[in-house]
Amino acid sequence: MNNSFLDFERPIAEINDKIQALKDIVDESPELLPQIAKLTEEEKKITQKIYSKLSTWQIVQVARHPRRPHTADYISRIFSDFDELHGDRMFGDDSSIIGGIGNLDDNPVVVIGHEKGRDTEEKVKRNFGMPQPEGYRKAKRLMKLAEQFYLPVITFIDTSGAYPGIEGEERGQSEAIASNLAMMSELQTPILVVVTGEGGSGGALALGIGDHVSMLEYATYSVASPEACSSIVWRSANFASEAADAMKVCAKELIKINVINEIINEPLGGAHRDYDLAAKNIKSNSSRLSSFNQSKAFLIFISHFSEIFSLSRLASIHAANFGVFSINVAD
């Protein structure tokens, strides 16, 4: 079976293997084209059937898929002229968090996100997407920079959690996370949050305080991993599936209890099947983001300059004349 398929996707994998085998010889036997088309349609129907009734634990598996797009994949497809910024100005740089300034359409924004890495070497370099304190302090530095220049912040969440090692604790892991939570809750610039894969514990929440929180359809967001919860409640990691159900980690459950604001549809079979479409869906996920950013940015601008300009004058001046812009997420 193709190793890009999960165990519950075995029926899809079997048809896909047949399709690939026929495609390998179709140049010599063009009469096979109708059969390929038939199998392709059958594969689509089976995928729709399987994904229409995924269990919570199966959604967890999709969120952790090794080929699922990461923050770097989304940045390259959504933003232009992205310049990565490094370091927390205290200890060093943490490559498990990517951050910098880029353009969303024609508007500059600050982009910050977890990055797990793709191959073994990069995963080790990026600590498997588990940030150290300097990673969160770098994110905080960039968000304060965004506030200073009236730039909106867009964060991408995809981590199993903050790094739990002793060196992280020695450098103040809990303080770094708590400081981010406090700062983001009062940051005077719009923050848009997108949970793209795993949203694990405080390591995710440290980038997750925002004015609008979206989740990809098969992402997860929880206070702890299902395995950790299972170990705590049942004294065994063997009940991770039951723990996932109990914690309501998936988007369709979290939107019911107002933990998130919006669910972003994924390509059929998950974001890892089509990076470009997944990125397009994130970019155009809601026209509300445009109006939200425009209204909040204008209110922030009024608050900041009310001591200089009279309210009557502010009311007569269009926000665009002061460089307050809106994010145009529609294609």
Both tokens of residue 94? 């943490």
Check whether residue 194 and residue 93 sit in a common domain: yes
Check whether residue 84 and residue 183 sit in a common domain: yes
d(CA 212, CA 194): 9
Q: What is the mean pLDDT of residues 301-312?
A: 49
> Has residue 330 been placed in a domain?
no
Domain that holds residue 18: 7-53
Check whether residue 248 and residue 160 sit in a common domain: yes
**Per-residue pLDDT tens digits for 319-328:** 445 454 444 4
> Has residue 328 been placed in a domain?
no
**H/E stretch holding 57:** helix 56-63
Check whether residue 164 and residue 276 sit in a common domain: yes
Q: What's the pLDDT at 307?
A: 47
Check whether residue 253 and residue 145 sit in a common domain: yes
> Has residue 258 been placed in a domain?
yes
Number of other CB atoms surrounding residue 235 within 10 Å: 9
> Has residue 135 been placed in a domain?
yes
> Has residue 66 been placed in a domain?
yes
Question: Is residue 288's pLDDT more than 90?
Answer: no
Secondary structure (DSSP) of 235-302: SSGGGHHHHHHHHT-BHHHHTTTTS-SEEE---TT-GGG-HHHHHHHHHTS-THHHHHHHHHHHHHHH
Check whether residue 13 and residue 94 sit in a common domain: no
Residue 157, C-beta contacts closer than 8 angstroms, at least 6 positions apart: 113, 114, 193, 194, 195, 196, 197, 199, 204, 207, 208, 221
**CB of 152 closer than 8 Å to CB of 108:** no
Check whether residue 110 and residue 149 sit in a common domain: yes
**Per-residue pLDDT tens digits for 218-249:** 999 999 889 999 999 999 989 999 999 999 99
> Has residue 88 been placed in a domain?
yes
Check whether residue 12 and residue 66 sit in a common domain: no
**Per-residue pLDDT tens digits for 142-173:** 999 999 999 999 999 999 989 889 998 999 99
**H/E stretch holding 84:** strand 80-84
Residue 229, C-beta contacts closer than 8 angstroms, at least 6 positions apart: 222, 240, 243, 246, 247
> Has residue 213 been placed in a domain?
yes
Q: What is the mean pLDDT of residues 12-19?
A: 91
Check whether residue 70 and residue 156 sit in a common domain: yes
Check whether residue 26 and residue 105 sit in a common domain: no
Q: Report the number of distinct structural domains present in the chain.
A: 3
The model's confidence at residue 36, banded by pLDDT at 50, 70 and 90, is: confident
d(CA 325, CA 291): 10
The model's confidence at residue 293, banded by pLDDT at 50, 70 and 90, is: low
Check whether residue 165 and residue 253 sit in a common domain: yes
pTM of the model: 0.84
The model's confidence at residue 292, banded by pLDDT at 50, 70 and 90, is: low
Work out the burial of residue 25: count CB atoms within 10 Å of its CB; fewer than 13 is exposed, 13-18 middle, 19 or more buried.
exposed
Question: Is residue 311's pLDDT more than 90?
Answer: no
> Has residue 104 been placed in a domain?
yes
Let me know how many helices (H) and strands (E) the chain has, helices first. 15, 8
- Main-chain phi, psi angles of 89, to 5 degrees: 65, 20
Question: Is residue 298's pLDDT more than 90?
Answer: no
Q: What is the mean pLDDT of residues 112-133?
A: 93
Check whether residue 29 and residue 159 sit in a common domain: no
The model's confidence at residue 284, banded by pLDDT at 50, 70 and 90, is: confident
**CB of 130 closer than 8 Å to CB of 96:** yes
